[in-house]
Chains A and B, each alone.
Chain A
Amino acid sequence: MTATRRFLPGWLSSYATLYILFLYLPVIFLPIFSVNTAATPKFPLSGVTLHWYEDLPKTPALIDATWNSLIVGVSASILSTVLGILAARSITRYRYPGRRAINGLIMAPLVLPEVIVAISMLLVMLQLGLSLSLFTVVLGHVLVCIPYSMTVLTSGFEGFDRSLEEASADLGESAFGTFRRVTLPMVAPAIISSLLVCFTISLDEFIIAFFLTGTEATLPIYIWGQLRFAAKLPGVLALGTLLLLASFVLMTIAEILRRRAARRTQNEGGLYA
């Protein structure tokens, strides 16, 4: 703290404070208004209540939407992580022409306009004769999750010292045994981290789900639907707060695991000793 004070002139720290406020103030309003007794989000609060939270489990449509989101989230995270593992392994381990281009193309959905991606996917799905369902949402989410999965996994796989696998073989272990006893334990944190990140992304994703879902709504779609009714707003705010909390917790765990994986794979040998 003292170091920060010494090196940051006064204006710089106030700028930093404003910056953080700008980023997080809107988010703070969500939990604040979700405990307001009045239905309109306005200061001053008319009273504090957990009433809106208690109402959440009593809404069947919400329960359905939650289930749908869980199904989509779990499927999409598993699928994109499996695909991500294969791609990340190939990109971090082998050198071949077009490696960078392939990496770029896999990462591209991160910056493509989501509406466009959603519309294109809708067109493709319809051309393929697939009827819109949770399955199509899963496919859409896999597309947007893979870049995140790749980021987490490549940072976990990068610097994986190949001689560790050779050492295992040298000590008599088979290829499968090496995978089970060396490779997997070392990259497991990155894999779990990728699953969590993808799940979180899928849980919050709106646009693609909006275009690709059939009659079964996911949570963000449900929230969108509820916004039409002013009276339902506090319930939406309560739900939003819970989603926010869940995302925050999941992402924190994912980041801790990712760092642990990155630390593990770096076999520092004697080079830094």
Chain B
Amino acid sequence: MLEQVQSERIQTDRTMIEIRDVTRSYGSFKALDNASLAIREGEFFSLLGPSGCGKTTLLRMIAGFDTPTGGSIAVDGQPMEGIPANRRPTNMVFQSYAIFPHLNVEQNVAYGLKRLKLDAGEEKRRVEEALAQVSLTGLGKRRATEISGGQRQRVALARALVMRPKVLLLDEPLSALDKKLREQMQVELRRLQQAVGITFVLVTHDQYEALAMSDRIAVMFGGRIAQVASPKEIYQRPVNRQVADFLGGMNFVKAEIVEENGASLVLDTLGFGRVRTDKPKAFVRNGGAATLGIRPERLRVLWDNATAKFEVAGKVVERHYFGEITHLIVEIPGLEKPLSVTETNDFGADDIPVGAPIRLAYDPEALVAMAD
């Protein structure tokens, strides 16, 4: 909640990066196909997708390491066409960090400042400030080969931030770190972005990373942008099965369209009966069929005689224990595929025997209609 408030403070409605109909072809292969996107000033924006979806290509084109074969990119209102990487108001944190191995931490951070010909005191002050921002104060004299992976990443961040770019580009910056450190860095990166107020563009294939850090996310598949929205909307209202499937688990249920009007849909399903849902913005009907989705955590186990207004009944066929949660596979009569259910373990979901009858409650709000 606090973050939401803060982010509203630093974000403006001004467009920082304007990507218009950008295409990048290699022969007949299109790494990026007519992508359009407007990234706002002060926003933490993520490009999310599986490998080969074009997210890195797009990031490298913003940085100036790659050139679009069609369309245009503008940063802060200035068209980037013909402007080489070294004259763009962007800085990048590389996936490999690209720390200069022959320089120490301080020299790495000061690398870009050298060209600005600042006086010695000012340069030193800015280096110190950047090192402090990434909690590396006192490590300036360490050799680049003498620091840990997490520290290398901080050096890469400091080296880019010290240039005070208009946009900071991050190419899978956390993928080389172990899980614990990665989660810690997610929080820190978000905090840092809020503190410096610079537009961050992050490339990642990790949906949790994108959900945890971003103001908005663009989900990409096969060189196309599938959906651009806030993390919550992307997760709760995915535009299609592909997006839904990529972000966490989703149960897909076959549905038939009974009624369609401006804002809502009425669907007939076998397991969930007749359902009225919001019509997604990008919904384009494809014949009479559609898909209804529900997240595994939005299905709740009903204990003993408890009842709910909306429920489905079935039988537990598998149970998987994950520590804080249990993952149940529940067969529902009439559904061609069993439902996935995740339930926290505080009421003993980990003790439900396989084969037991079970009733599941759901909120119709949690049902998402997707075009087939």
The interface of chain A, by Cβ under 8 A from chain B, is: 161, 163-164, 166-174, 177, 181-182, 185-186, 264-273
Contacts and interface: CB of A to CB of B under 8 A. Distances in A.
A186 B96 contact: no
A169 B152 contact: no
A174 B149 CA distance: 28
A164 B149 CA distance: 16
Nearest to A166: B65
Given A167-B159, A270-B177, A273-B152, 5 more contacts: A169-B65, A171-B111, A267-B98, A269-B99, A270-B149
B57 interface: no
B246 interface: no
B85 A166 contact: yes
B150 A171 contact: no
Interface in B174-197: 176-177
23 contacts: A161-B96, A164-B98, A166-B65, A166-B85, A166-B98, A167-B159, A168-B100, A168-B111, A170-B65, A170-B85, A171-B111, A171-B112, A172-B112, A186-B101, A186-B102, A269-B96, A269-B99, A270-B150, A270-B176, A273-B149, A273-B152, A273-B176, A273-B177
Contacts of B28: none
Interface in B71-88: 84-87
Given A170-B92, A172-B163, A273-B152, A267 B65 contact: no
Contacts of A185: 102
Contacts, number: 95
Interface in B141-176: 145, 148-150, 152-153, 159-160, 163, 176
Contacts of A182: 100
A171 B91 contact: yes
B63 interface: yes
B115 A167 contact: no
B86 A271 contact: no
A177 B115 contact: yes
Contacts of B92: 166-167, 170
Nearest to B87: A172
Given A173-B86, A273-B149, A166 B159 contact: no
B160 to A, nearest CB: 8
B363 to A, nearest CB: 42
B44 interface: no
Place the interface of chain B in its size category.
20 to 34
Contacts of A265: 101
Contact of A171 (B65, B96, B159): B159
Nearest to A165: B98
A164 B176 contact: no
B152 to A, nearest CB: 6
A270 B163 contact: no
Given A167-B92, A173-B112, A267-B98, A273 B163 contact: no
A98 B177 CA distance: 38
B272 interface: no
A269 B152 contact: yes
Nearest to B159: A171
A264 B102 contact: yes
B221 interface: no
B86 A161 contact: no
A236 B115 CA distance: 57
A273 B175 CA distance: 12
Which 5 pairs, one residue from A and one from B, show the smallest C-beta to C-beta distance? A273-B149, A270-B176, A171-B112, A269-B96, A270-B149
Contacts of A264: 101-102
A169 B86 contact: yes
Contacts of A171: 86, 91, 111-112, 115, 159-160, 163
B278 to A, nearest CB: 43
A163 B98 contact: yes
B97 interface: yes
A163 B86 contact: no
A272 B147 CA distance: 11
Contacts of A268: 145
Contact of B99 (A170, A172, A186, A267): A267
A185 B144 CA distance: 15
A267 B86 contact: no
Interface string B89-109: 011101111111110000000
A163 B94 contact: yes
Among the interface residues B64, B87, B98, B160, which one has the most CB atoms of the partner chain A within 10 A? Answer: B98
A167 B98 contact: yes
Given A172-B163, A270-B177, A166 B102 contact: no
A169 B101 contact: no
Given A172-B115, A273-B148, A267 B101 contact: yes
Contacts of B91: 170-171
Among the interface residues B86, B111, B153, B177, which one has the most CB atoms of the partner chain A within 10 A? Answer: B86
B112 A166 contact: no
B115 A173 contact: yes
A169 B85 CA distance: 6
B101 A174 contact: no
Contacts of B86: 169-174
Contacts of B153: 270
A114 to B, nearest CB: 39
Contact of A161 (B85, B98, B111, B112): B98
A271 B98 contact: no
Among the interface residues A167, A171, A172, A185, which one has the most CB atoms of the partner chain B within 10 A? Answer: A171
B50 to A, nearest CB: 21
B112 to A, nearest CB: 3
A24 to B, nearest CB: 36
Interface in B118-148: 145, 148
A256 B148 CA distance: 26
A270 B177 CA distance: 7
Given A170-B86, A172-B163, A273 B100 contact: no
